[in-house]
Structure 1
Amino acid sequence: MDTTLDENSVPQIYYLDEGKKESPFLPLTSLEFLKQHGTKLKRLREGNLNELSSDTPMDTSHHPALSTPSLMKAAKAQLFKFNSQKIDVLSYVSSHIGTLSGLRSEVPGDLELALLLQAAAEKVANQQYVQARKLLILCGCFASKSGSPVQRVVYCFAEALEKKIEQEWGIAPTEELVGKLRKPLDEMLAQVYMQPAMMTSQQETPFTLFTEFTATESILNAVVSAKRVHLIDFQINNGAHWTLIMQALAVRDECPFEHLKISAVGTSKKIMEETGKWLSSFAETLNLPFSYKMVVSDLKDLRENYFELEFDEELAIYSDMRLWTQLVWPNHLKALMGVIRKLKPRIVVVKEFEANTNAPNFPERFDAALLLFSAMFDCINSCMDHHVLYRKMTEEVIFPRMVQNIIVAEGMERFQRHEKIGFWRKLFAEFGMVETDLTRSSLCEASLFLRSSERLSSCTVDMDGKCLIMGWKGAPFQSLSAWKLQNEYKI
């Protein structure tokens, strides 16, 4: 996929201009966090890591909440039961609206809607397109892009299934559907345009802050004694996560610090320039020796000689949701891993979606995507209710395009592919890299943030070996892992 931007293009969503009106916000730094929560952090460091997660997510009424992923699983179980009893879902739901029992009174409508969607997907998988469209029409009666999380998920996935049916039939999309599918903006350019709104909303998104705390402090721990540090970021975005390391290096007493270099990799020179200006200004306020380099390149074309490496630097690499973009080209992914190996980093920290939307068969791919995006919509519903602008862009533009690509596209056109941690373990092992522990203190520190709000306590944290698995109300969502070269690991 060509991700090169037209630097003169303007995002074409009417509400994006409002994003500039929100005030810039600098995320809470590690040092500020320690000042505010030092006593609690000490207690957590001495405790059990299992205490980081909450087994029973609670809603605002203090009653056990049935999450959107849980509803989708319940609907899947109901569909299996109906199939075994040869019950027609369309006929049943049409005559039993609102009467499914066994759940709280406000849930049945959403449960039936989830049942209709998955029955439609099953019909699509079996090429029973006429029956599938009847189910999707009924979905359309109840789904809404502004309703409950379940209604929003169904609205998004029903659109994708409609598109898949039209593609299979060879029918030209209707004008209305063309309008919905037409690329309304370049998300990467919008990230710059809406940076103030995004930085504010991310402060309230548990996954972003948790992984930023853990990733950056694990990197800091790996280069703790270095006088010169080189950080390579495969997708720097607004760069706010590096402020944690910059502040820590600026006040380091044990070993005088000489220089920090950040190399940003990306295809948009405009985005990286804006981020570089901001980071350079921030470093200046700290009196931190700093340089910023841009490597304008797609990951699949990256080469080790693109970086200005120096012999006395300690190198660390951070990949935030980037490796999955190369799954469509397995040979390019392996070439990228070869580049990482040749750079000989002290540590590589990787964040990825914890889902297998790369499955070759449609039913498995649909189920994985449905659970992943159910968790994402549910999380946004709880954490971004005060950030309407960024939420609208996420739910009405970015998510639908991701889902449609997973559901509709095939072959090389299907570039939205994700894998679970087991896949990444095999890949890194192939290139002589082994998993290493994430910094425990950073896990404890980040968990304090999750415990600071009842809303954020719905975020669950588990360990899969040395890998951190974050979930939303128990549904796996993201993985965070750290890697070292095997020969270094044995020393």
Structure 2
Amino acid sequence: MFPSKNYDNPFEPLQLDKTKNDQQKPSRFGAIDNLYFDFASTPYQNMIKGADFQLEDDQGVKRHSPFASLRIVKDYASRSRKLNGEKIHIPSSNTAENDRKLSTIERIRMAGLHFIDSYSNSDEISNPNHAFPFSSSGLSDDEAKDINLLLTLLASANKTGQQHFNEAIKLIESCNNTSSNEGTTVQRLVYYFSEAIREKINREIGRDACDGLERMQMFDLQKALMGINASILAFHQKVPMAQVCQFTSIHTILENLGRARHVHVIDLEIRSGMQYTVLMQAIASRSEWQLKHLKITAIGTRSESRIKDTCNHLADFARSKSIPFSFEIVMVPDMLDFNINLLELDRNEKIAVYSAVSLSSLIVTPNRLEHLMRELRKINPCITVITEVEANHTSATFVNRFIDALFFYGALFDSLSVCLGNDEVNRKVAESVYYAYSIRNIVAAEGDDRTIRHTGIDVWRAFFARFGMAEIELSGESLNEAKLLIDNFECANCCQLPVDGRCLVVDWNGVPMFSVSAWKFI
């Protein structure tokens, strides 16, 4: 699923896939060759890891069974690397134990296991009235209902992947009867995913396909994320993942700037610019740092007025902190038009590059991404810090992409539910405006239309190596400060900070969400 590190072009598999339907991979398990889900694929093998139960194939070779016991399930990780996480919570008859509710991710994992087990014991599950054969003993009513709802969603995705659209539609209708954009976390998640499957089916059969495509093209996610609005501000203030990524990135930039008198930060997608208030506060707190000038250059291809607003707000903040500050905006109609000559560079300044979830927006157009990297190499900054979504939403195989997205957005929806609490308005805006579009694009679109394409740190490493970039280890101080920051949140136990090689990964309940890495051109 992922290119190896000696791949000539790590993003070649991510380029536009012109075929709508992928070839089914042969199953290693002879008894279930008729199943569309590739149980040997990364999403399922990382979701369920069976240790002891084995089957023999036609040649008598023992193979691990994908139908693992619920007791040996470990945390899902949709990457080529395997994360060692906590075991899934198993409901027991102990009253104290049962006071702890299953998280959204645990419910998804449990539904995935029961879905696979259902297929191992029956040929078909297409009747929306079918009762999935799992025991709800030890589960609360809402947990059992959520798992049944997720099972129906998984069945609809499976039927869609098989192109059994009539059966899939019936299952989607069943999902709609018990899901809502105003229900529980799982109900909201299923609502948006089932609507995305419906749109995919409509596009496949030519029904309302143009309308769905037009809605996708009219909404510009990157533009919507520009500037500060209440929902984005609420996410940054109350969800620890956002603050950890920003803080660690800025802390790493500061460490590499030393006490340079002239500092220049080039931002590839400045958006709200909140990270630079953190930078300025740190500079202002260091009286020994005799800074003469801080310059920020914002590179953009859209929303120039919003970028100006952001930079003007930063200028006001700099004045309040008595920091000598200037900004430059470099607008280009196309990233292919960007070049180093458009920048005002000074040989006396120390330059850092910061990219927060901006490179992934160019994966769908690899020529633009490669052009940008070549120009950045010419600048040769002292440090390049990159934050990206840590997920694989690039697979050409629908079901693999669907499962990865379900876990990622399940964790994201769960974080909003936990962290925003009673802030229903901003939570609903974030889900219905930003995340609903991404889910729809990942699940329903194919080829040129599928613009939301995230990938993991291993793929980025292979890509950056082509441009002579070496990964720099994040300092122990940065990691310790990030952990202290997490501890300030009531939901600290949900957010983990494992280290993958030299980069920091931000997890939510065991699901990797974001990575922060630092690089130097060599």
Q: Which residue of the other structure, out of 225, 230, 241, is the alignment partner of 2:264?
A: 230
Q: What is the deviation of 1:182?
A: 7.2
3-state SS, counterpart of residue 243 of structure 1: helix
Q: Which residue of the other structure, out of 332, 351, 354, is the alignment partner of 2:368?
A: 332
- 8 Å CA contact 2:128–2:170 kept in 1: the answer is no
Q: What is the deviation of 1:383?
A: 1.1
Q: Which residue of the other structure, out of 281, 284, 290, is the alignment partner of 2:319?
A: 284
Amino acid at match of 1:391: R
Q: What is the deviation of 1:221?
A: 0.4
Q: What is the deviation of 1:57?
A: 10
CA-to-partner distance for each residue in 1:343-383, whole Å, 9 max, x for gaps? 10111111111111111111111111111111111111111
Pair 235,57 (structure 1): closer, same or farther in 2 beyond 3 Å = farther
With structure 2 as the length reference, what TM-score do the two structures score?
A: 0.77
Counterpart of 2:382 in structure 1 is: 346
Pair 321,383 (structure 1): closer, same or farther in 2 beyond 3 Å = same
Alignment of 1:121-140 (within 5 A): 121-140=157-176
Structure with the larger helix share: 1
Counterpart of 1:322 in structure 2 is: 358
3-state SS, counterpart of residue 513 of structure 2: strand
Any gaps of 5 or more consecutive residues in structure 2?
1-83, 90-95
Distance 1:425 1:316 in 2: 19
With structure 1 as the length reference, what TM-score do the two structures score?
A: 0.81
Pair 284,198 (structure 1): closer, same or farther in 2 beyond 3 Å = same
Q: What is the deviation of 1:166?
A: 1.0
Q: What is the deviation of 1:96?
A: 6.1
Distance 2:231 2:137 in 1: 42
3-state SS, counterpart of residue 328 of structure 2: strand
Counterpart of 2:303 in structure 1 is: 268
Amino acid at match of 1:263: T
Alignment of 1:405-420 (within 5 A): 405-420=441-456
Residue 252 (str. 1) matches residue 282 (str. 2): no
3-state SS, counterpart of residue 203 of structure 1: helix
Counterpart of 1:423 in structure 2 is: 459
Q: What is the deviation of 1:389?
A: 3.3
- 8 Å CA contact 2:231–2:430 kept in 1: the answer is no
Q: Which residue of the other structure, out of 446, 453, 470, is the alignment partner of 2:482?
A: 446
Residue 210 (str. 1) matches residue 250 (str. 2): no
Q: What is the deviation of 1:191?
A: 5.0
Pair 90,196 (structure 1): closer, same or farther in 2 beyond 3 Å = closer
Q: What is the deviation of 1:173?
A: 6.2
Counterpart of 1:434 in structure 2 is: 470
Counterpart of 2:115 in structure 1 is: 79
Alignment of 1:162-241 (within 5 A): 162-172=198-208, 181=215, 191=225, 195=229, 198-241=232-275
Counterpart of 1:369 in structure 2 is: 405
Distance 2:216 2:393 in 1: 23
Alignment of 1:298-317 (within 5 A): 298-317=334-353
Counterpart of 1:43 in structure 2 is: none
Distance 2:407 2:225 in 1: 26
Residue 391 (str. 1) matches residue 410 (str. 2): no
Distance 1:107 1:388 in 2: 22
Distance 1:242 1:369 in 2: 31
Percentage of identical aligned residues = 34
CA-to-partner distance for each residue in 1:41-70, whole Å, 9 max, x for gaps? xxxxxxxxxxxx996899xx9955432233
Distance 1:89 1:105 in 2: 23
Distance 2:456 2:259 in 1: 33
Counterpart of 2:392 in structure 1 is: 356
CA-to-partner distance for each residue in 1:311-337, whole Å, 9 max, x for gaps? 011111111001111111122211111
Distance 2:178 2:231 in 1: 31
Q: What is the deviation of 1:73?
A: 2.3
Residue 456 (str. 1) matches residue 492 (str. 2): yes
Distance 1:433 1:478 in 2: 20
Amino acid at match of 1:289: P
Residue 156 (str. 1) matches residue 192 (str. 2): yes
Distance 1:337 1:314 in 2: 19
CA-to-partner distance for each residue in 1:168-207, whole Å, 9 max, x for gaps? 1111269xx8699577865556556753553244211111
Q: What is the deviation of 1:443?
A: 2.2
Deviates more, 1:432-441 or 1:159-168: 432-441
Residue 117 (str. 1) matches residue 145 (str. 2): no
CA-to-partner distance for each residue in 1:403-453, whole Å, 9 max, x for gaps? 111112111111110100100000111111111112322322222222123
Amino acid at match of 1:350: I
Distance 2:183 2:213 in 1: 21
Residue 295 (str. 1) matches residue 330 (str. 2): yes
Distance 1:299 1:359 in 2: 25
Distance 2:412 2:387 in 1: 16
Distance 1:65 1:238 in 2: 36
Amino acid at match of 1:457: N
Amino acid at match of 1:422: D
- Considering Cα pairs closer than 8 Å and 6+ residues apart, tell me whether 1 or 2 has the greater RCO: 1
Distance 2:245 2:347 in 1: 30
CA-to-partner distance for each residue in 1:121-153, whole Å, 9 max, x for gaps? 111111111111111111111111111111111
Pair 56,321 (structure 1): closer, same or farther in 2 beyond 3 Å = same
- 8 Å CA contact 1:120–1:133 kept in 2: the answer is yes
Counterpart of 1:39 in structure 2 is: none
Amino acid at match of 1:400: A
Q: Which residue of the other structure, out of 69, 77, 80, is the alignment partner of 2:105?
A: 69
Counterpart of 2:44 in structure 1 is: none
- 8 Å CA contact 2:155–2:168 kept in 1: the answer is yes
Distance 1:125 1:190 in 2: 31
Q: CA RMSD in A?
A: 2.7
Pair 357,305 (structure 1): closer, same or farther in 2 beyond 3 Å = same
Deviates more, 1:189-198 or 1:419-428: 189-198
- 8 Å CA contact 1:218–1:442 kept in 2: the answer is yes
Distance 1:262 1:189 in 2: 20
Counterpart of 1:31 in structure 2 is: none
Q: What is the deviation of 1:223?
A: 0.1
